[in-house]
Amino acid sequence: MVKTKGLLALLALVIVISLTACGGNKDSNSSEKPTTSSAAESSPSAEPSKEASSGEQVTLRYSSYQLDTAQAGNAYYEAIKQFEAANPGIKIETDFIQNANYTAGIKTRLLGGEKMDVFDTWSPSLFAEFKALDDNVYLDLTGSEFLSAFLPSSLAPVTIDGKVYGAPELMHSDGLLYNKTLFEANGLKVPQTWDEFIAVCEALKQKGITPIAMDSEWWVPQFFWGSLMSNNGANADWTKKLESGEVKITDPIFVDAISKHKELIDKGYVPKDWTGMKHEQSKDLVGQGKAAMIITGTWDISSIIERNPDNDIDFMMVPGKDKTVPNINVGTYRVINANTKHPEEAKKFLAFMNSKANQEKMAVGALAVPSVADAKVDNAIVNKVASVVTREDATLYWPHTVSTESLQVKILEGVNKYLAGLALDEALAEIQKAIDDAKK
């Protein structure tokens, strides 16, 4: 078994590599993927633009981490082609930025005054991080007719002082995915309480099955202990108290959550070599039936099913000791740069990309839930996730309520070091210092 120092060294190396990747390597090559164009769907946002009749050609630059054709990019390129077909006077210039470089890439563009009309943000904390650069970074969308289509709860994270600055796309939930086929073959039921969860993990371990696929990628563990934070009562108000100093990181709400996560490691419920594993390897374990569960979100269901279509992969919430709270994880918010020279055209593009028709179409491929109130998707998994994220007690999962992406990452790093073997008091002291420094 690897000693603690070895674990810490390995994790430190992982973190350094991750942060180096986020350090600002500019990936601004604009590209368009040639795809088969299809007729634009009928919707208010698909009406021919005024620019087409006047003969003017407007070019909007759209920056996103979602335009990677190796992932879900095809659907976005197809939607862009449909928009251009319906609006001949508007041309979309795509600007793909890799996920690892995205925060630095957008900051570089904003601070450098580079042309950028529409861009994406994946969390409220990242939304706030960009806003911290300039209070007027986002175009005010308040009063735009298309906003009335969205679930009010999905607009809350991008609403400031009653003004709306972004449009949500698909909604996910995070926690655990599980191999339902393997569960049923071993006579196991989805646990409803923490004690039942531990009992299921122990039963799997005794059968020689890895209970939970966990890996060393720094962003993964948050989906487990973050869910426990929600169960423990952490919300946006608690986070404000934490960042103001009214609450310390030693609060039982936080300590209990990360301690329960550490319990999984100490009891051998995760792979012994988890510190050397990548997330794709974790997905392999579940897809191949070698592990029963995986720490992640519903966005990974499709890719795990692809590994073995005979396995039924399903989603479960992380059960709490006293209660289990559903989590909402809005995958993307689309925003408009306040400095765009074409605000009306940008609004038209945003309304089209986030429309009911597009969200319903993308929801099937991504197995996610549209944030449009009356959208309907004929898929059992999507409907199950919808039953979770639309519950009245559903809350934005905890790490996303941290005020900035930078602070969120530092908190995650501190927890990851603890999970890899750093003493609890040392990890908490490191996290508290990051919170205190953020106030300066």
Q: Which domain holds residue 408?
A: 174-325+404-438
On whether residue 3 sits in a domain, the answer given is no
On whether residue 14 sits in a domain, the answer given is no
Q: Are residues 48 and 103 in the same domain?
A: yes
pLDDT for the residue numbered 198: 98
Q: Are residues 182 and 295 in the same domain?
A: yes
pLDDT for the residue numbered 48: 42
On whether residue 225 sits in a domain, the answer given is yes
Q: Are residues 183 and 321 in the same domain?
A: yes
Residue 236 and residue 255: Cα distance in Å, rounded? 17
On whether residue 414 sits in a domain, the answer given is yes
On whether residue 350 sits in a domain, the answer given is yes
Q: Are residues 74 and 186 in the same domain?
A: no
pLDDT for the residue numbered 32: 42
pLDDT for the residue numbered 294: 98
Q: Are residues 87 and 228 in the same domain?
A: no
On whether residue 412 sits in a domain, the answer given is yes
Q: Are residues 230 and 311 in the same domain?
A: yes
Q: Are residues 59 and 192 in the same domain?
A: no
Question: Could you give the number of structural domains in the chain?
Answer: 2
Residue whose C-alpha is closest to residue 147's, from 164, 129, 123, 171: 164
Model pTM score: 0.79
Residues contacting residue 37 through CB under 8 Å, at least 6 positions apart: 78, 81, 82, 85
Q: Are residues 430 and 295 in the same domain?
A: yes
On whether residue 392 sits in a domain, the answer given is no
User: What's the chain's Rg over C-alpha atoms?
Assistant: 22
DSSP state of 211: E
Q: How many CB atoms lie within 10 A of CB 162?
A: 6
* Residue 367: CATH number of its domain: 3.40.190.10
Q: Are residues 103 and 210 in the same domain?
A: no
Q: Are residues 345 and 375 in the same domain?
A: yes
Q: 189-207 burial, b if ≥16 CB within 10 A, otherwise e?
A: ebbeebeebbebbeebbee
Mean pLDDT (10-residue bins), the chain, 440 residues: 37 36 34 36 40 72 84 80 97 93 95 96 90 95 96 90 96 95 97 98 98 94 96 94 98 98 98 96 96 95 92 95 92 95 98 96 88 92 90 88 92 97 98 95
Q: Are residues 97 and 228 in the same domain?
A: no
On whether residue 399 sits in a domain, the answer given is no
Q: Are residues 302 and 359 in the same domain?
A: no
pLDDT for the residue numbered 6: 40
